[in-house]
Amino acid sequence: MKKILVFVSALLFSITIFAQKGEAYKIFAQKGKKVSYKKMLKKVAKADVVFIGEHHNNTIVHWLELQITKDAARTRELTLGAEMFEADNQQALNDYLAGKITKKGLDTLARLWPNYKTDYKPLVDFAKDKKIKFIATNVPRRNAKIVFRKGFKGLETLSDTEKSWIAPLPIKYDKNLPGYVKMLEMMGGHGGDNLPKAQAIKDATMGYFISKNLESGKLFIHYNGSYHSDNFEGILWYLKNSNPDLKVVTITTVEQDSVKKLEEDNKNVANFHIVVPSDMAKSY
């Protein structure tokens, strides 16, 4: 409780300071033109799937995720999904949403992220209050570790139950996708070819469970680390392979020293860029 109070105090202090000095965030379109929240929301409301790519400790973007979700729910029926929940925890999540277990029960039965209470619980509770489906889209982390150690072949020995929590085998994979190439370069070759494959099994599984839970007329909003949807790759590559005609909108998070304009290197990363000051308060 003390940590949460300290976090909330820091966030409110930061927002107050930014309110005095200038905007706490600005939104830019793909090529760098400044746009309003209202205009972004109009695009969101017309999509089949919206990806909100976050920095996991960015407080402003977590707040905006909730606002976008609430506002979208005024005009569209929603399904929500998130990287932060692994597919084998779906039943526990369903039970919480249905009121069959308490908050403590969810914490016991599901592998919740350390920042769940401050950053993701508001989204889950909104879904609970509004009776909105919330899909655990991510691969169980133990299976991602198998891929890191043994490659995709390591998944072939899983039980049928375990296989139901990942994308269907064999896993499609393009090692030449820029995001996976960049990952190898950034890690200096550490992990070898299995490193981007471990990322790919997450992208493939999230894409699979999004596709599996799409419903006609409903908007699917997915929350994930920005690197899973930046540059229209990652999850999008897998989703578009199975559903090429989907209307998809991507939102990413960018931290800059100044929010006055979108820096050149940050352009064309997504349909919309939420630019936040680099020194904004973090949740951890």
Q: What is the residue extent of each domain of the chain? A: 24-277
Pick the residue with more confidence: 5 or 88? Answer: 88
Residue 117, classified by CB atoms within 10 Å of its CB into exposed (0-12), middle (13-18) or buried (19+), is: middle
Interval 44-65 mean pLDDT: 97
CA–CA separation, 243 vs 208, rounded Å?
A: 10
Interval 121-132 mean pLDDT: 98
Q: Write the CB contacts of 182 (distance below 8 Å, at least 6 apart in sequence).
A: none
pLDDT score at 281 = 84
> Over 50: is that where the pLDDT of 6 sits?
no
Q: How confident is the model at residue 123 (pLDDT cuts 50, 70, 90)?
A: very high
The fraction of the chain above a pLDDT of 70, given in percent, is 91
Omega of the bond leading into 168 within 30 degrees of 0 (cis): no
CA–CA separation, 97 vs 93, rounded Å?
A: 6
pLDDT score at 184 = 87
Can you give the pTM of this predicted structure? 0.91
- The Cα-based distances of 67 to 52, 60, 61, 62, 225 in angstroms read 12, 11, 10, 9, 18
pLDDT score at 20 = 39
In terms of CATH architecture, what is 24-277? Answer: 3-Layer(aba) Sandwich (3.40)
Per-residue pLDDT tens digits for 238-274: 999 999 999 999 999 999 999 999 999 999 999 999 9
